Structure 1
């Protein structure tokens, strides 16, 4: 893994789950992690309920936009996290792949998005702790 861990969050539209995960990891990581997000079929805009849910935490993602998944983004990342949506993600040896099975916030109102956001936040904080943990000496 690189000195500064690089994480890529991927979902189909890059309009909800992956955007929330990226914003939360960027926030909690405070510059200690490089964060990207992308979608296999990017939407035209972010889910408004997702933007609202993140604003409730003081995180403004309103200027973000869905981005296409590229091989370069995968190659540059140490950890690639798909968001439970069955994406066909390019595979490169030496990368760590995780699949977080999460409900899709597409078409959902704010009351349905909040628990998804909170579950992502819990997972992001656990991932961050793992990524930033000191390397354990091998015996």
Structure 2
């Protein structure tokens, strides 16, 4: 990893975990932060009946939100308040009612106040890739 060093004097993982504790949206969707490490996070979510669309598959917005929540944990794990500047997602297979999806995010590059984080969303039962997400982040200026 090249680029920005972690915020001096700040436990980045603790910072990210506090951000997660304050994240009501992710919690209400039943997301669980399984792993939080510097530059890496793993988040799980079970697909419920209220997440399934008219094609009997998980609505893409929920898959995006899972990936985005994992992205947030990974890119905030350096102890600096960091937000999304943009993101792209490619859906590769459907998620279905009852599936547990696992998102794994890794910071690929951090430079200045910007960064790039990749997230792969898989179905837990068979490892099938459901989506690939690339997030672009921006750290907020220090007060």
TM-score range, shorter chain: under 0.3
TM-score in terms of structure 1 length: 0.27
TM-score (norm 2): 0.27
Structure with more strand by fraction: 2
